[in-house]
Amino acid sequence: MIRRVTRRWLEEVLTSVPGKRIAVLSNSRIADVLDQLADLLEFQGANAFRIRAYRSATRAIRNTSTSIAQVAQQHPKNLTHIDGIGKSVAEKCVELVQRGSLDQLDQLLRQIPKSVLAMLRIPGLGPKKAAAIYQQLGITTLEQLREACEAERIRTLKGFGPKSEQMILKGIGLAERAGKRIYWAVADQQVQQLRDYMAGCHAVQQLEFAGSYRRGKETVGDLDLLVVSEDSTRVMDYFGRFPDVADTIARGETKMSVRLGDGLQVDLRVVTSRSFGAALQYFTGSKEHNVILRSLAKKENLKINEYGVFRLEDQTEQVVAGQTEADVYNVLGLPVFPPELREARQEFQWAARNELPELVTASDIRGDLHMHTTATDGNGTLEEMVDAARKRGLDFVAITDHSQRLSMLDGLDPKRLLDQWSQIDQLNDQLDGDFLVLKGIECDILENGDMDLPDEVLAQADWVVASVHFGQRQSREQITSRILGALAHPFVSAIAHPTGRLINRRDAYEVDMEAVLQAASEHGKLMELNAHPARLDLNDVHCAAAKELGVPIVISTDAHSVAGLDMMRYGVLQARRGGLTASDVANTHTWAEIQQAIGGKR
Ligand code: DGT
Ligand code: CA
Ligand code: CA
Ligand code: ZN
């Protein structure tokens, strides 16, 4: 186990800004460090009891609401009063909080080759198995590991089989991809910091982030920063002093690339105001979109590049556009495509027919139909979640805690669910029509295709999202038929996170999405776009396919805390990439209208 993808970890993604020093170490951050220490000790073959002690301590640290950092600072002796934390772990906590690192961990990190550490990061491999591979086959790099899998040498080791080779190969792919691209939401935090910082440079006249970030792509490879200035030297000097810059990769007259502390590359280009629009258009991309644009320009006898649009007349080039992005597109007879649509999918056809969709915006959203409370694995109480949703200007929410099968998350059995629903009735009475709380449930679709709760219970819900949490490794036929079954079920309203993927962490399960969307359309059901930055499920392409079939998308935060409600905008961004308008998105409508769509009040 390197780092299981737990809900807490997913929430943490958003609070762990890469490269930023965190003033107070969060519990999950502390647990991550101790887990890493345990991993490396296990890799070295340390005493199993010691490792187990670390593991149970990290579990305890993740599960307590007491701030370990605070206790370690103020009353270090009290640390051992927390269940699961012994003397030696307590000492580690104090050291970590005081020094910001652990001496023992630093030493181990120096001893074990970097490439071996990369092996430890492969999902499903784990320290023990990695150690066996390292010691018995002498494998030290991911490349060697891949070769050994392909040559079927891994299965010669005790405890490994053909299946493990397949798993490792898949894991290598994931680990490699994970190292290269970051979640859009994490890129966004870095962008905000850079924006704030660059605003302090007087030589900067205008500034914009282009590239995949501006297009809202689910993951971002590097950041592309465009600055208008007359003094590129000053801008680049200032940029180089950004506190999180780890090293400068390259620097020229007007171009500079740096690497930030967490490995993220930022490309800076300084341009004149005359060519800002052209540069913004060019560096926003995508490359494929630009290829089409260039060929359209050529037909008009125009040339387009990052400096402007030029007309070729008698061997000379006349500038016809460049200052604004609108000029650049308009001179070619095109509308200004929203950046999210610039992927060379359908945008040019839409423009030709004058049918460019007016994309949904965050302010169109009226309700949030998937969230959890302290009744299961959420951090906010029913009242806190409702209060926070009202403060965010929503009109309605559905409370959708987990169903009983998720027993480790305290999933609700019929009795507890009905209790929660009567609390919701009372809450609605108090709210007196100002806001609507819907009685919902996130009901598991069991391995055999049955729903996790009896029909007579589901029949009383206002809103049921059905999801696959177990048996994700079943065949394409099995999983598809489970989801088709749920869609045919009279009391199911929508399918939650329909492919189960976790970006950079876990692939989507095998499912026939065409058949699923077809069935959703036939039964008048909705499909979720889960807004969590690590999910974004359905993705942009699936959303576009749903739209084609007239299947409404419901964008939901799946919030497990009050802060989780703010993830809505990440979902909206992907919906925009899928070309969805407000009317394509169910939760831009009133609850009464949504009810109509899912077949009226039952
Ligand atoms: P990323 O960074 O991998 O997430 O994706 P992008 O799209 O940000 O790609 P990047 O950073 O390599 O380049 C930024 C933009 O610059 C890209 O979207 C389009 C433009 N661009 C870069 N190289 C070329 C090229 O060779 N031809 C054309 N037409 N455009 C390019
Ligand atoms: Ca980029
Ligand atoms: Ca770039
Ligand atoms: Zn959920």
Q: How far is CA 299 from the centre of its chain?
A: 40
48 lies in the same domain as 153: yes
- Nearest-10 Cα torsion for 138, 142, 143, 145: 50
pLDDT tens track for 551-602: 999 999 999 999 999 999 999 999 999 999 999 999 999 999 999 888 743 4
The CA distance from 10 to 198, in Å, is 30
The whole-number pLDDT of residue 120 equals: 81
Mean pLDDT along residues 483-498 = 97
246 and 330 housed in the same domain: no
Ligand 4 mean position, distance from CA 47 (Å): 38
In a domain, 602, yes or no: no
* Nearest protein CA to atom 15 of ligand 1, as residue: 283
Residue 357 to residues 128, 215, 508, 572, 581, Cα–Cα distance (Å): 53, 16, 29, 14, 6
The total domain count for the chain is 4
Same domain, 310 and 379: no
Token digits for 132? 């066996």
Instruction: Say if residue 322 is in the same domain as residue 444.
Output: no
- Is 216 near ligand 1, meaning CB less than 6 Å away? no
How many angstroms does the Cα of residue 221 sit away from the middle of ligand 1? Answer: 10
Distance 442 CA to ligand 4 centre (A): 6
Ligand nearest to the CA of 220: 1
**Is pTM beyond 0.95 here?**
no
Distances (CA, A) of 9 to 13, 40, 398, 534, 588: 6, 20, 24, 10, 30
What percent of the chain clears pLDDT 70, i.e. is strictly above it? 95
Q: Enumerate residues 6+ apart whose C-beta is below 8 A from 392.
A: 565, 566
- Using CB atoms within 10 Å of the CB of residue 384, give its burial: 0 to 12 exposed, 13 to 18 middle, 19+ buried: middle
Q: Going by CA atoms, what residue is nearest to atom 3 of ligand 1?
A: 221
Residues 175, 120: Cα–Cα separation, whole Å: 10
SS3 content of the chain, % helix, strand, coil (to 5): 50, 15, 35
One domain, residues 29 and 129? yes
Does 309 fall in a domain?
yes
In a 13 Å sphere around the CA of 197, the CA atoms on its Cβ side amount to 18
- How far, in Å, from the CA of 223 to the mean position of ligand 2? 5
Residues 144 and 200 in one domain: no
Other beta carbons within 10 Å of 508: 18
CATH number of domain containing 289: 3.30.210.10
- Flag whether 350 is in a domain: no
Q: Which residue range(s) make up the domain with 561? A: 362-597
Tell how far CA 385 is from the center of its chain.
21
* 499 belongs to a structural domain: yes
115 confidence band (pLDDT: 50, 70, 90): confident
The number of the ligand nearest the C-alpha atom of 212 reads 1
Mutate to test the pocket of ligand 1, among 215, 223, 283, 293 (most ligand atoms within 8 A of CB): 283
Which amino acid is present at 203?
A
CB of residue 286 inside a 6 A radius of ligand 1: yes
Please state whether beta strands 526-530 and 494-495 pair in parallel, antiparallel, or not at all (unpaired): parallel
Atom of ligand 1 nearest to the CA of 213: 8
CATH number of the domain encompassing residue 258: 3.30.460.10
Residue 449 host element (H or E): none
Q: Is the pLDDT of residue 326 over 80?
A: yes
The confidence score (pLDDT) of residue 67 equals 84
- Give 314-381 as a 3 state SS string: CCEEEEEECCCHHHHHHHCCCCCCCHHHCCCCCHHHHHHCCCCCCECCHHHCCEECCECCCCCCCCCC
Same domain, 160 and 40: yes
**How many A from CA of 567 to the centre of ligand 1?**
27
Mode of pairing for the β-strands spanning 436-444 and 463-467: parallel
CATH of the domain at 468: 3.20.20.140
- Ligand 1 nearest-atom number relative to CA 215: 7
SS (H, E, C) 28-66: HHHHHHHHHHHHHHHHCCCCHHHHHHHHHHHHHHHHCCC
Output the pLDDT for position 177.
60
- Higher-scoring residue by pLDDT: 7, 56: 56
Residue found by looking up tokens 């290598």 in the block: 172
Query: What would the mean pLDDT of 194-222 be, rounded to a whole number?
Result: 97
C-alpha torsion angle, residues 93, 98, 22, 120 (rounded to 10): -50
What CATH number does residue 24 fall under?
A: 1.10.150.110
Nearest CA residue ID for atom 17, ligand 1: 285
Domain boundary among 213, 244, 271: 271
Test site for ligand 1: of 209, 212, 281, 305, most ligand atoms within 8 A of the Cβ = 212
User: Rounded to an integer, what distance in angstroms lies between the CA atom of residue 185 and that of residue 170?
Assistant: 25
Q: Does 211 sit in the ligand 1 pocket, CB within 6 Å?
A: yes
Question: In this structure, are 220 and 128 located in the same domain?
Answer: no
In this prediction, residue 179 carries a pLDDT of: 64
Judgement on whether residues 493 and 385 belong to the same structural domain of the protein: yes
Ligand 4 centroid–CA 369 distance in Å is 10
| Residue 292 · residue 352 · CB < 8 Å | no
Residues 214 and 132 in one domain: no
Are residues 536 and 416 located together in one domain of the fold?
A: yes
Give the C-alpha separation, 205 to 453, whole Å: 60
Domain boundary, last residue among 271, 295, 317: 271
**Amino acid in position 358:** E
Kindly state the DSSP code that residue 22 receives in the 8-state scheme: P
- 61-108 pLDDT per residue, tens: 887 778 898 899 889 999 999 888 999 999 999 999 988 889 999 999
> For residue 54, what are the contacts with CB-CB under 8 A and spacing of at least 6?
34, 35, 37, 38, 41, 89
Q: Is the CB of 276 under 6 A from ligand 1?
A: no
pLDDT digits (tens, 9 = 90+) for 266-292: 999 999 999 999 999 999 999 999 999
Q: What is the pLDDT of residue 599?
A: 74
Distance 87 CA to ligand 1 centre (A): 53
Q: Which residue has the higher pLDDT, 176 or 400?
A: 400
Whether the CB of 224 sits within 6 Å of ligand 1: yes
Three-state SS string over 267-298 comes to EEEEECHHHHHHHHHHHHCCHHHHHHHHHHHH
Q: Report the pLDDT averaged over residues 365-376.
A: 97
- Percent of residues, the chain, with pLDDT higher than 90: 73
- Residue 351 inside a domain? The answer is no
Coil/strand/helix, residue 467: strand
Which listed ligand is nearest to 266 at the C-alpha? 3
Q: Which pLDDT score is estimated for 267?
A: 98
Reference 367, options 390, 395, 399, 401; nearest CA is: 395
**Same structural domain, 385 and 513:** yes
The whole-angstrom separation of Cα 64 and Cα 58 is: 10
- Residue 219 Cα: closest atom of ligand 1: 4
Domain limit, last residue, from 116, 146, 178: 178
What separation in Å is there between the alpha carbon of 191 and the centre of ligand 1? 17
